[in-house]
């Protein structure tokens, strides 16, 4: 990508939203724990979200079910509705991430299914150190086989190390374990990865919203608007079905509560970080925008949390966009009014007097600034319609 290219000459330059790096989520877990099953579930329930997938082989991905649209090239497959899938070994990962993150594909999120024997720390290190400005590390999801938990830990002590760096743990195969065993495992997980949310599932059926924002099927391009986030949260919170394209049988939507918070006033960065640091383990996902209004930091801060993983992405406000904070909080068993009360307490009536160092806590979680909307595009065809789009 070359951001120093001159802008294309045009009388009426199109208004473009800021381009944000694509989150890359690592899906890890011991052999047979259910990673591919979970990935298939995500692919089948992604709404209009465009998912880039990196797997070790295509064997177990339900490519047929996804209606393959055609080969994109090399070992990449374009799946109907906007998924891309590629099969790689470790050494090729960088190259494939570069391909998947090419603007022409308009991918919203990339999921890497790590091999059952992979060290997720290595992958995280590689992603964090990546010089590809189009991607950012988006968190580690560790899949645990409830039926094999003890045996796996006994044979593979490294499992504990993997759990310690997880942002979200999926306790899978709950259908194969007794309730008492599940309770004991949940306690052991709480000790192994304190504060990390643990989501119970069978056949990997978790709410995809825990990992990424699901676009409505009708939306095929552009950035996800906050209205979309709100409407998606409403859909999942109310357990309503989407447009009929998806089979929601057995989905976990109804298990999750969603809480919306809007503030016309700025939020105090220290109090907000304190709120995030203390967020309950059942609060799996937070997304939205925050206005801090601290001198020198008046940008819009997109906030993105998956489990314990937290990222802020600063970017410009849209023209005429009101300076306000808007958040959607999704969790299980969370106390909505209490969360709202805590967020109310983060309001800051005089942000202009806040010292710049009050932003340090936030800046710890900033990867890199988003490219401003008025900077030249890296590629001329970024928003060209996809001929494969239905
Ligand atoms: N009973 C039960 N079986 C499951 C569940 N999840 C996955 N399985 C089965 O477990 C087996 C392994 O699942 P995969 O999704 O292939 O596991 P994986 O982690 O991708 O496996 P590797 O790629 O070998 O590491 C398959 O036969 C799945 O159908 C579950 O929740 N309950």
The CATH number linked to 190 is 3.40.50.300
Question: Same domain for 205 and 264?
Answer: no
In total, how many domains does the chain have? 2
Kindly give, in sequence order, each residue whose CB lies less than 8 Å from that of residue 158, ignoring residues fewer than 6 positions away: 119
Residue 249 is classified by DSSP as T
The DSSP element (H or E) to which 169 belongs, if any, is strand 168-172
- Do 144 and 38 reside in the same domain of the chain? yes
DSSP E strand boundaries for 257-372: 257-263, 266-267, 283-291, 300-306, 309-315, 325-331, 347-348
Lowest mean pLDDT among 182-186, 288-292, 378-382: 378-382
pLDDT of 209-247, one tens digit each?
888 876 655 433 333 333 343 344 444 443 333 333 333
Confirm whether 165 is domain-assigned: yes
> Residue 169: pLDDT above 90?
yes
| Closest alpha carbon to 291 in 281, 283, 301, 279 | 301
Ligand 1 contact, 36 CB (< 6 A)? yes
Q: How far is the CA of 89 from the centre of ligand 1 (A)?
A: 21
Question: Which residue of 31, 37, 117, 156 sits with most ligand 1 atoms within 8 Å of its CB, as the best mutation to test the pocket?
Answer: 37
For residue 6, is it within any domain? no
Q: Residue 55 falls within a domain, yes or no?
A: yes
d(CA 300, CA 317) in angstroms, rounded, equals 6
How far is the centre of ligand 1, averaged over its atoms, from the C-alpha of 189 (Å)? 20
Of 176, 170, 177, whose CA–CA distance to 211 is shortest? 170
Residues 149 and 260 in one domain: no
Residues 285, 162, single domain; the answer is no
Atom of ligand 1 nearest to the CA of 116: 25
Between 117 and 123, name the one with better pLDDT: 123
Of 266 and 35, the structure prediction assigns the larger pLDDT to 266
Which pLDDT belongs to residue 67? Answer: 31
State the Cα–Cα distance between residues 59 and 335, nearest whole angstrom.
42
Q: Is the CB of 205 under 6 A from ligand 1?
A: no
Could you give the CA distance from residue 126 to residue 253 in angstroms, rounded to a whole number?
33
CATH number at residue 304: 3.30.1220.10
* Residue 180 three-state SS: helix
- Domain end, chosen from 175, 210, 245, is at 210
Residue 235, in any domain of the structure: no
Q: What is the number of the ligand 1 atom nearest to the C-alpha of 56? A: 23
Is there a domain that residue 100 lies in? yes
Atom nearest to 176 CA in ligand 1: 1
Residue 375 has pLDDT above 50, yes or no: no
- Span from the CA of 283 to the centroid of ligand 1 (angstroms): 26
Looking only at Cα atoms, what is the longest distance across the chain? 68
Whether residue 202 has its Cβ less than 6 Å from ligand 1: yes
Across-strand partners of 51? 109
Crossing angle for the helix pair 120-129 and 93-100, nearest 10 degrees?
A: 60
Residues in the chain: 390
Mean pLDDT, rounded, for 156-172: 90
Q: Chain-wide mean pLDDT for the chain?
A: 74
| Angle subtended at Cα 212 by Cα 310 and Cα 148, rounded to the nearest 5 degrees | 85
131 and 192 belong to one structural domain = yes
Question: Where among 210, 243, 273 does a domain terminate?
Answer: 210
Ligand 1 atom at minimal distance to the Cα of residue 115: 25
Q: Is the CB of 175 under 6 A from ligand 1?
A: yes
Q: Average pLDDT, stretch 146-158? A: 89
Do residue 111 and residue 40 come from a single domain?
yes
Percent of the chain scored above 90 by pLDDT?
A: 29
Say yes or no: 261 and 192 in one domain.
no
Range of the domain at 336: 256-363
The model's pLDDT over 285-339, given as tens digits with 9 standing for 90+, comes to 788 899 999 999 999 999 888 777 788 989 999 888 899 999 988 887 788 999 9
Both 181 and 59 in one domain: the answer is yes
Tens digit of pLDDT for each residue in 73-97?
Answer: 444 544 444 445 444 545 567 777 8
Ligand 1 mean position to 35 CA, how many Å?
7
Residues 52, 186 share a domain: yes
Distance 202 CA to ligand 1 centre (A): 10
Which atom number of ligand 1 is nearest to the Cα of residue 31? Answer: 25
- For the CA of 203, the closest atom of ligand 1 is 31
Domain boundary among 177, 210, 243: 210
pLDDT in tens, 4-36: 333 344 455 554 445 678 999 999 988 789 888
Q: Alpha carbon of 269 to those of 20, 77, 287, 316: distances in Å?
A: 22, 43, 16, 18
- Of the pLDDT bands very low, low, confident and very high (cuts 50, 70, 90), residue 345 is very high
Q: How many CA atoms lie within 13 A of 153 on its CB side?
A: 13
Q: Is residue 292 part of a domain?
A: yes
Are 267 and 120 in the same domain?
no
CA distance linking residue 140 with residue 74, whole number of Å: 27
Q: Is residue 293 part of a domain?
A: yes
Pair 184, 313 in one domain:
no
- For the question of whether the overall pTM of this predicted structure is more than 0.95, the answer is no
Please tell me whether residues 166 and 57 are part of one structural domain: yes
Task: Give me the interface pTM, i.e. the ipTM.
Answer: 0.99
**112 vs 214, higher pLDDT:** 112
**Ligand 1 centroid to 33 CA: how many Å?**
5
What is residue 31's predicted lDDT score, i.e. its pLDDT? 78
Indicate whether 375 belongs to any domain. no
Model pLDDT, residue 216: 57
């Amino acid at each position: 990508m070359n951001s120093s290219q001159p802008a294309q000459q045009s009388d009426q330059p199109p208004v473009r939203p800021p381009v944000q790096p694509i989150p890359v989520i690592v899906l890890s877990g011991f052999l047979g724990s259910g990673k591919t099953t979970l990935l298939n579930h995500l692919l089948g329930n992604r709404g209009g979200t465009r998912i880039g997938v990196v797997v070790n082989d295509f064997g177990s991905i339900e490519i047929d079910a996804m209606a393959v649209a055609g080969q994109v090239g090399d070992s990449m497959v374009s799946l109907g509705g906007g998924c891309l899938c590629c099969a790689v070994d470790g050494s090729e990962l960088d190259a494939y991430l570069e391909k998947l993150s090419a603007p022409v594909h308009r991918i919203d999120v990339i999921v890497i299914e790590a091999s059952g024997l992979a060290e997720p720390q290595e992958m995280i290190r590689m992603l964090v150190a990546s010089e590809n400005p189009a991607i950012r590390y988006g968190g580690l999801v560790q899949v645990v086989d409830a039926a094999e938990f003890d045996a796996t830990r006994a044979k593979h002590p490294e499992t504990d190390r993997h759990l310690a760096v997880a942002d979200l743990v999926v306790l899978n195969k709950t259908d194969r374990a007794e309730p008492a065993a599940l309770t004991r495992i949940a306690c052991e997980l709480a000790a192994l990865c304190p504060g990390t949310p643990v989501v119970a599932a069978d056949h990997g059926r978790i709410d995809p919203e825990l990992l990424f924002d699901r676009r409505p099927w009708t939306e095929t391009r552009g950035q996800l608007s906050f209205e979309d986030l709100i409407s998606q949260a409403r859909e999942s919170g109310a357990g309503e079905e989407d447009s009929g394209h998806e089979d929601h049988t057995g989905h976990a939507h109804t298990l999750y509560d969603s809480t919306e918070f809007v503030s016309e006033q700025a939020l105090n960065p220290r109090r907000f970080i304190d709120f995030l640091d203390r967020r309950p383990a059942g609060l799996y996902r937070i997304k939205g925008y925050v206005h801090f209004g601290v001198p020198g930091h008046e940008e819009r801060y997109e906030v993105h949390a998956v489990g314990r993983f937290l990222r802020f992405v600063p970017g410009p406000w849209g023209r005429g966009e009101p300076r306000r904070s808007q958040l959607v909080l999704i969790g299980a068993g969370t106390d909505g009014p209490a969360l709202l009360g805590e967020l109310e307490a983060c309001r800051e009536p005089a942000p202009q007097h806040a010292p710049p160092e009050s932003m340090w806590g936030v800046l710890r979680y900033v990867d890199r600034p988003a490219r401003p909307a008025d900077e030249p595009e890296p590629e001329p065809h970024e928003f060209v319609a996809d001929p494969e789009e239905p």
